[in-house]
Amino acid sequence: MKNIFIVVLAIATLVSCEQSLKTGFIDNSEVINNYQEKLDIEAKYKAKIEAFQKRTDSTSRAFQMEAQEFQLKAQNLPDAQAQKEYQALSQKQQMLQQRIQFEEQQIQQESQVEIDSLISKVKGFVSEYGKNNGYAYIFGSNEGGSVMYGSEENEVTQIILDALNAEYKKD
């Protein structure tokens, strides 16, 4: 009889412990995609990409004009000289393409570094928010299905997003 009482008491204790764990979940995509800092980063890189495109278009037009002038001029040049100038023009085209590719890669790398940093910042914020607000767990849901179901009362997506954006506005 004494053993049954101990088992019942242990089960009751476990059940009460399980019920006292505060949990929540967030929609990762919604938090990241609606976080104002991410929107600001996207706007910054959109402007950089537009400026890059304008420079690239201008450089390409100038090179095309130079190539057209060469074609007209090459008709009146001796073959050896035309071949020499054609090689120089080809080298210039290669250098322009390499410069464009390098600059494009630089923009992509800078953007990725900022986005990676932002994701780390959001993870840290959610962790601190959970600690400061008594959560045992805050799960992230995404297309991969880490949270397949959660009751609406446990969803804290908007609360986290609002707090995150408020923190960002302070900076």
What does pLDDT average to over the chain?
Answer: 87
Question: Is the pLDDT higher at 9 or at 152?
Answer: 152
pLDDT average, residue stretch 111-116: 96
Using pLDDT thresholds of 50, 70 and 90, give the confidence band for residue 148: low
pTM: predicted TM-score of the whole model, two decimal places? 0.75
Q: What's the confidence (pLDDT) of residue 111?
A: 96
Domains, the chain: 13-169 (3.30.910.20)
Question: Is the pLDDT higher at 64 or at 151?
Answer: 64
CA angle centred on 44, ends 42 and 49, rounded to 5°:
90
Give the contacts of 9 (CB within 8 A, at least 6 positions apart).
Answer: none
- Tokens read off for 101: 């590719």
> Per residue, what are the HEC states of the chain?
CHHHHHHHHHHHHHHHHHHHCCEEEEEHHHHHHHCHHHHHHHHHHHHHHHHHHHHHHHHHHHHHHHHHHHHHHHCCCCHHHHHHHHHHHHHHHHHHHHHHHHHHHHHHHHHHHHHHHHHHHHHHHHHHHHHHCCCCEEEEECCCCCCCCCCHHHECHHHHHHHHHHHHHHC
- Give the pLDDT confidence of 18-50 residue by residue, as tens digits: 556 889 999 999 999 999 999 999 999 999 999
Q: In whole angstroms, what is the distance from residue 100 CA to residue 2 CA?
A: 81
pLDDT average, residue stretch 85-106: 95
**Rounded to whole angstroms, what are the CA distances from 50 to 16, 17, 33, 57, 58?**
58, 56, 21, 10, 12
Assess whether pLDDT exceeds 50 at residue 147: yes
Answer left, alpha or beta for residue 21, where phi above 0 means left and psi between -120 and 50 means alpha. Answer: beta
